[in-house]
A and B are shown apart, each in its own frame.
Chain A
């Protein structure tokens, strides 16, 4: 098991290197740099100051050195000593929010008492977790009920709703929810100012999780129907096991194995779709920050955030692989 986990960990390294390299090259092929316009007065920065800024941020170095300097580190401190790069968790200074480092922007807050949960990263993670909890806690039981009562009214309703839920993009679903609950019924805030109470979280998490929930429900249902016809279920019934034991111990447990496999893509999808959901609800997470950094040409911010996104996706896929290996021993051998 240890070897299996180690192999999966090592295989993520080339992926991360390539992602950071492509991001870096794309970013530098973009016309215009971070000093192109000053937002406050719209004036151009004088060439001499531009040169100083380039030196300060290391943009005067050749491209390869900028890249290695960002990822591994470079002798760039004022006294010529070594400054560690992204592998030490240093994501570089932000060129738009002067004086702050990317990791500070993402992981900490101005408030001294607040924990990391109040940071941009914490907000995004919490939203994704709420959405996933909602999707799993509602999607799987719905699928189980629908399969047990196959061809009943409940089954048809669940199947129809999950078909619609899979087909309708969560952006569209979010708009519907905003119009119904926010604009017409005025039950929930459209754009929240405070995120301390539970109400403003309801719509984003619902929107976020609905597609995943529908996919969970339909997948659980079809897997349950498959498992139901297996011989060991008939054996369990024949030996006189109570119906709820047959359902939960024999059928449901074996249903979980394939259901776990779609958890990985679901998690990765949640992380990426965060950008739009956060933009729609004005959510103070890192997805929205990523979007703003792109239009600001904030190089190290784009680099840092997309590396973080990529790492999260890779970790999500990997942890599901490992989970799968734990549940189903056959996987480990390969």
Chain B
């Protein structure tokens, strides 16, 4: 120990600064580990592609997703079946065919990715806000506050969440809030109200552990307020664990939308081309299920997209976990 410490002590301040500037901080290190993991790198690229697609959907979509064609215009994908039963050639520009109203499936899936992307991030913001507020408050203040907050958390934990989101949508879905952004807002809110429990428990545990550590004790003895302790010491040191939790939570938000849409109670169907959230993957899944015998390409395309998105999210989360917290590696 003495041998190492001595040369360090002999360094001038400028030399120490230079050494520190060269060394990697926690995030640079994590980024390097993440890049080395091929599965998560690939899934990250896929997710970026999904983001780009949802941003510039009107430029990419080959057809207008709302344009309906004559009632009998339902075609299977050209690669699946080249000709209709009547012997007519299928139009190759409908890559995944059309639905029963003659709308292009591929364009609709592209527009649906917008909804799914927003629904991955917006609920997360609400969940983080509530969860961290409750968790950190309970862990930091302790005592009675902790006890009361944790009892509430226990009760919310036992709530059957999907069931309640179904109830919320059926009951409040037709009000002004429910209509906003075709129901995306209500969706984010209801997830936010129900899903903060896991994060609250996690952050409370973190606050309790970190509270006893020397550097927090030192800060407190120097007169740091609770607020400073939380923002300067406890929050930055829990950040990587919170990020890992968030990465694993996102796929479940997307899947709840898919589930609700499949039950026919998710987003409101839209006919206005100026709206951002025209359709959602859950809705497409329901339509595809109804056309399963005549147009399997519809369902397969939707399901394949959902699977690709969710698997990418999961693998990215795995990579993130291994990069940020190698001890958790499974």
Contacts and interface: CB of A to CB of B under 8 A. Distances in A.
Interface of A: 12, 14-15, 18-19, 22-23, 26-27, 29-31, 163-164, 166-169, 171-172, 175-176, 178-179, 183-184, 190, 218, 222, 268, 271-273, 275-276, 279-280, 290-291, 294-295, 302, 306, 309-310, 313-314, 317
Nearest to B255: A169
Contacts of A273: 162, 259
B140 interface: no
Given A26-B171, A275-B263, A169 B166 contact: no
B330 A313 contact: no
A interface majority secondary structure: helix
A179 B292 contact: yes
| Interface range for B | 35 or more
Given A167-B310, A272-B163, A273-B162, A183 B255 contact: no
Given A29-B172, A166-B314, A272-B160, A183 B262 contact: no
B interface majority secondary structure: helix
B158 A169 contact: no
Given A26-B168, A317-B158, 8 more contacts: A30-B171, A169-B307, A172-B306, A179-B296, A183-B293, A275-B263, A279-B263, A310-B158
A184 B155 CA distance: 46
A12 B157 CA distance: 12
Contact of B299 (A31, A179, A268, A291): A179
Interface string B152-165: 00110011111110
B174 interface: yes
Contacts of A30: 170-172
A264 B310 CA distance: 24
A29 B163 CA distance: 17
Nearest to A310: B160
B124 interface: no
B162 A171 contact: no
Nearest to B314: A167
A275 B155 contact: no
Given A167-B310, A279-B262, A294 B167 contact: yes
Nearest to A29: B171
Nearest to B329: A222
A167 B285 CA distance: 18
A268 B311 contact: no
Contacts of A172: 258, 303, 306-307, 310
A226 B258 CA distance: 36
B251 A167 contact: yes
Contacts of A280: 262, 289
B167 A306 contact: yes
Contact of A314 (B158, B255, B306): B158
Nearest to B306: A172
Contacts of B303: 172, 175-176
Given A27-B171, A175-B303, A291 B310 contact: no
